[in-house]
C-alpha cells in the first residue's frame, strides 16, 4: 500500500452547493489502510465558504497553509491566516469563510475516519473526471 501522497493524488471532488471549493481525499482506509484517521486537502475560492456543519462522532483538525479567512468553532469566531491549526471537537458546529483574494488552502484530518465519506455525497460533491488523454 502507498505511504506517500502528493497534491495530484487521491480523489478530487468539487462542491456544487453554491459554495465553490474543491477537496482531495488523500489518506483514508481505502487508499492507505489507515485505521484511526482520514486526511485530505480543501481549496476554498475567494469569497466562498465551508458552510457551518457538525461531525457528531469525529474530531477534526483543519490546518490553513495559504490564504486567510474567518473560522467558527462552536460560538467563537477567529480571524486566521497561514500556518494556523484549528481543533474541532465532536459535536461542535464549525465552518470557514475565505476573506482573502486568493484561494484558501487547508488540510483536514478526521479521527476516527468516516466523516470524510461526506465528500462522496453526490448531492453536494461532484467527482472530478480525469481527462482521458
SS (H, E, C) the chain: CCCCCCCCCCEEEEECCCCCEEEEEEECHHHHCCCCCEEEEEEECCCCEEEEECCCCCEEEEEEEECCEEEEECCEEEEECCCEEEEECCCCCEEEEECCCCCEEEEEEEECCCHHHHHHCCCCEEECCCCCC
What was the pLDDT predicted at 120? 95
Domains of the chain, first to last: 11-83+92-123 (2.60.120.10)
The residue written with cell numbers 486537502 in the block is 41
- Decide: 42 and 84 in contact? Cβ < 8 Å: no
Threshold 0.85, pTM exceeds = yes
Give tens-digit pLDDT for 83-95.
999 999 999 999 9
Q: What mean pLDDT is reported for the chain?
A: 94
Give tens-digit pLDDT for 98-131.
999 999 999 999 999 999 999 999 999 999 865 4
In terms of Cα–Cα distance, which of 111, 96, 121, 108 is closest to 39?
A: 108
Q: Mean per-residue pLDDT for 22-38?
A: 96
What was the pLDDT predicted at 130? 52
Amino acid at each position: 500500500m502507498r505511504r506517500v501522497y502528493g497534491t495530484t493524488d487521491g480523489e478530487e471532488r468539487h462542491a456544487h452547493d453554491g459554495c465553490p471549493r474543491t477537496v482531495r481525499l488523500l489518506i483514508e482506509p481505502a487508499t492507505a489502510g489507515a485505521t484511526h484517521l482520514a486526511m485530505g486537502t480543501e481549496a476554498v475560492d475567494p469569497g466562498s465558504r465551508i458552510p457551518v456543519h457538525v461531525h457528531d462522532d469525529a474530531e477534526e483538525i483543519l490546518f490553513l497553509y495559504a490564504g486567510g479567512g474567518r473560522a467558527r468553532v462552536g460560538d467563537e469566531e477567529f480571524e486566521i491566516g497561514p500556518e494556523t491549526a484549528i481543533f474541532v471537537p465532536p459535536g461542535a458546529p464549525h465552518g470557514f469563510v475565505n476573506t482573502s483574494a486568493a484561494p484558501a488552502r487547508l488540510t483536514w484530518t478526521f479521527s476516527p475516519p468516516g466523516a470524510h465519506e461526506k465528500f462522496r455525497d453526490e448531492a453536494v460533491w461532484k467527482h472530478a473526471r480525469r481527462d482521458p488523454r
